Structure 1
Amino acid sequence: MEFMSDISSGADIYRPSLFELIAQEKLQALIQPAAKYILSVYAQRYPRYLLRIVNRFDECYAVAMLLIERYYLKNYYASFAESFYGLKRIRLIQTKIDLPEATPDITLQKLRNSDIWRSLFFLVGIPYIKTKLDDLYEKVSENARARLLGSAFSRVHIEKQLNYKERVRRFIRNLFKILYPWLNALYHGSKLLYNFLYLYNKTRCYTPWLKLMGIEIRRMSAQDYFERRLNSSRNNLPTKTLFQATYYFLNFWNGVDVPPPEIIAPDPRGIPLPESPNVCPICTNLLTNTTALPSGYVFCYPCIFSYIEDYGRCPITLIKVDIDELRKVYWNIITIYNFFPIYHQFVPLQIEI
């Protein structure tokens, strides 16, 4: 099955395989039921805000997809799903001479505004219309099955009581019920036919809608990726400027010469400070599992935990301290601040337990 691989043919590396096109089509088809399910779940929690949207989901979804698809078609020349798979839309240029592989973009032209609106009609309008027709056919079929439960006499008696307008409406419904399955089969059959023609390289469009619009789908080249990155950088320039301005403002705000708070002096009634800053004031041994208090002094964790649990205060300054205010400090931070002349004084760089 060599025709299924564009690698083996080597004719056009920018021609996507049918599997890529079907994959992006499936992705686009899965968005609507997924969004409807998520919205219905949240509507049960917030019915006051979301119930109206759920009741008019098809219209709301069509409007949302219209805005999204228009953005992608205008900026990336591809639908949302096509852009996800690295594909793009170009105008179908009929040429008798095959393009060489090295120059794949000679006759490629970007989409015009009219091409974008035609693409939006087939990307959003046709699926919306088909969804409504499917719902209508299901509703008509359900009504027809329900009428089968009645007797023949009651059906004839009811039909005699109908006026002219109601008879016309019933005739149109019955005609729609007969014709729609054939139209639906023609819809899917034409797509299947073009899929096979595209698979055998007999056409450049894998759906009849692309043929009607005069558009084909191609893989993105390196130049396309470069242009997309360049356009993205230009579009994000205001955001980057705002971010930089905010960053410099925060640097200026934090860099203002605000003096640090005054050091809390030890209370004469508290535990005296040891001579070495590496010694715990409570156990008078080297600090282990160093822990800081809001007062700025450090102790061994077991020592200070037991002390605060019993007294609820700092043993040096005697200010009130709770267990949840203990802060563990890494030893390398402590060794840096050992150069300060204040014993066990700690600045606000701590790691919570």
Structure 2
Amino acid sequence: MLFQVGGQGTRPTFFEMAAAQQLPSSLRAALTYSFGVLALRRPVFHKVLDYEDEFFALLMLVLEAHSLRTTEASFAESLYGLRRRAVKIKSRRNGNPSHHAEFSNLEKRQKVLSVVFLVVLPYFKSKLNSVYNKEREARLQASLWGDGDDRLADVNFIAEVEPAVDSAGRSAQTTSRRHLTKRIQRVIGILYPWIHASSEGLSFSYQLLYLLDATGFYSLGLHALGIQVCRATGQELMDTSSRISKIRSRERERLRGPAWLKAVQGALLSCTYTVLDYAQTGLIAAVFFFKMMEWWYQSAEERMSAPTVYPPPPPPPPPKVAKEGIPLPSDRKLCPLCSQKRANPSVVTVSGFVFCYACIFKYVSQYKRCPVTLIPASAADVRRLFHDM
């Protein structure tokens, strides 16, 4: 196999890395959906949705900083038992061209830059994406309805003539800012597709190389920081627990002030530790709840939008032979008109009986009816059959 399917070795599988990378997006979708449902009943939550990028970036900043500080892994990586390690590639001696990697704990600089790559860069990418979408919608609207500035040119001119000098200066400053904002949006609209395509292409390249075991770096950011993700051992998990306990004990020892102030600060620290300890479980439960509700509502919408399938109606009863009509022969292969084997069998569509083409065409053309049922018919109701029963 090109990649590890089981959990052997310290190198994580491709599926573990992909799951850890996709967890933040699933978490954001779950939180957005939850706040959207709450906003239907409590309009105050609309403000959270208006600043969705900022609130989610702040939440991830707290979670990622705490996770990197205590476990030396991102929030998603710690859920899968993964750890980040600083790697140094050294060549072996004795003329051997092969290389080997040496792992060590993360430096403070690498932790800070990891937070930048995990939180800050995705935040700016999300803002650029929103600006690009607005610019694209504006261009589409301008192509359909024309530029709004042209329609409001006369109104703006009248509004700029009436104010005083101070108001005119403010209006000119506002106009210059507006033009600068539009220029920035146009530049983003031109450059963002190339930036996004380059980012996605590099990400795909690194993931493909990681899948083929050609590199130990899963992304360009990890390669730039000199960090590889490794699977944590049992001893490392125990060391992490002891490290967290030591950090919290040192933080409690740093408390200063009267006894009541220390008690309040200790209670706040305990609440903070509890929230951070159960944040992983709670947020994973939120993702699970979101996926379940998404499946539930999608199934309900499919059931509501699916067309109602009714059973097919029963076939109409066959037409009866009229008393004055020609009787049917005992052999079904014989023509009722000439009592001979049918030649060029043809059916009368109004009744369904089969005759010779020459016989039925001559009869219908003369009498304007079916010879068996006496139902009115014309020559256009005679159809040729290519398979005679």
When the two structures are superposed, what TM-score results if normalisation uses the length of structure 1?
0.57
Name the CA distance, whole Å, in 1 between partners of 2:109 and 2:196: 28
Give the letter for the 1:74 counterpart: R
Equivalent position of 1:200 in the other structure = 212
Give the letter for the 1:22 counterpart: A
Name the CA distance, whole Å, in 2 between partners of 1:35 and 1:97: 50
**Percent of counterpart pairs with the same letter?**
28
CA deviation after TM superposition for structure 1 residue 157, in Å: 11
Equivalent position of 1:27 in the other structure = 23
Give the letter for the 1:209 counterpart: G
Give the letter for the 2:54 counterpart: E
Distance of aligned partners of 1:210 and 1:225 in 2 relative to their CA distance in 1, 3 Å threshold: same
Secondary structure of the residue aligned to 2:229 is strand
Q: Which has the higher contact order (CA 8 A, sep 6+)?
A: 2
Equivalent position of 1:213 in the other structure = 225
CA deviation after TM superposition for structure 1 residue 171, in Å: 4.0
CA deviation after TM superposition for structure 1 residue 216, in Å: 1.1
User: In the alignment, does 2:35 pair up with 1:36?
Assistant: no
CA deviation after TM superposition for structure 1 residue 84, in Å: 0.5
Task: Work out whether residues 131 and 188 of structure 2, in 8 Å CA contact, stay in contact via their aligned partners in 1.
Answer: no
Name the CA distance, whole Å, in 2 between partners of 1:55 and 1:70: 25
Q: Deviations over 1:284-310 (max 9, x none)?
A: xxxxxxxxxxxxxxxxxxxxxxxxxxx
Give the letter for the 1:216 counterpart: Q
CA deviation after TM superposition for structure 1 residue 71, in Å: 0.6
Name the CA distance, whole Å, in 2 between partners of 1:33 and 1:219: 27
Name the CA distance, whole Å, in 2 between partners of 1:92 and 1:224: 17
Q: Which runs of 5+ in 2 are unaligned?
A: 94-100, 158-171, 251-262, 264-389
Name the CA distance, whole Å, in 1 between partners of 2:152 and 2:37: 45
Equivalent position of 2:128 in the other structure = 133
Q: Which runs of 5+ in 1 are unaligned?
A: 99-105, 243-353
Task: Work out whether residues 6 and 15 of structure 1, in 8 Å CA contact, stay in contact via their aligned partners in 2.
Answer: no
Q: Deviations over 1:294-332 (max 9, x none)?
A: xxxxxxxxxxxxxxxxxxxxxxxxxxxxxxxxxxxxxxx
User: In the alignment, does 2:68 pair up with 1:73?
Assistant: yes
Secondary structure of the residue aligned to 2:240 is helix
CA deviation after TM superposition for structure 1 residue 108, in Å: 2.1
Equivalent position of 2:3 in the other structure = 4
Equivalent position of 2:98 in the other structure = none
CA deviation after TM superposition for structure 1 residue 117, in Å: 0.8
Equivalent position of 1:321 in the other structure = none
Distance of aligned partners of 1:32 and 1:165 in 2 relative to their CA distance in 1, 3 Å threshold: closer
Aligned Cα root-mean-square deviation (Å): 3.4
Deviates more, 1:184-193 or 1:229-238: 229-238
Distance of aligned partners of 1:43 and 1:68 in 2 relative to their CA distance in 1, 3 Å threshold: same
Equivalent position of 1:190 in the other structure = 202
Larger Rg: 2
- Aligned with 1:52 (options 19, 44, 47): 47
- Aligned pairs (5 A) from 1:1-353: 2-5=1-4, 13-48=9-44, 50-97=45-92, 107-150=102-145, 169-231=181-243
CA deviation after TM superposition for structure 1 residue 173, in Å: 2.9
Give the letter for the 2:76 counterpart: A
Name the CA distance, whole Å, in 1 between partners of 2:142 and 2:79: 48
Q: Deviations over 1:187-240 (max 9, x none)?
A: 1001011111222222221100111111111110122122123345657889xx
When the two structures are superposed, what TM-score results if normalisation uses the length of structure 2?
0.52
Name the CA distance, whole Å, in 2 between partners of 1:85 and 1:133: 31
Task: Work out whether residues 210 and 216 of structure 2, in 8 Å CA contact, stay in contact via their aligned partners in 1.
Answer: yes
Whichever structure has more helix as a proportion of its residues is 2
Name the CA distance, whole Å, in 2 between partners of 1:64 and 1:53: 12
Give the letter for the 1:28 counterpart: P
Name the CA distance, whole Å, in 1 between partners of 2:49 and 2:185: 27
Task: Work out whether residues 217 and 227 of structure 2, in 8 Å CA contact, stay in contact via their aligned partners in 1.
Answer: yes
Give the letter for the 2:4 counterpart: S
Task: Work out whether residues 72 and 83 of structure 2, in 8 Å CA contact, stay in contact via their aligned partners in 1.
Answer: yes
Give the letter for the 1:53 counterpart: V
Equivalent position of 1:333 in the other structure = none
Secondary structure of the residue aligned to 1:14 is coil
Secondary structure of the residue aligned to 1:201 is coil
Give the letter for the 1:142 counterpart: E
Name the CA distance, whole Å, in 1 between partners of 2:102 and 2:75: 24
Q: Deviations over 1:28-48 (max 9, x none)?
A: 221111111112222333334
Distance of aligned partners of 1:150 and 1:237 in 2 relative to their CA distance in 1, 3 Å threshold: closer
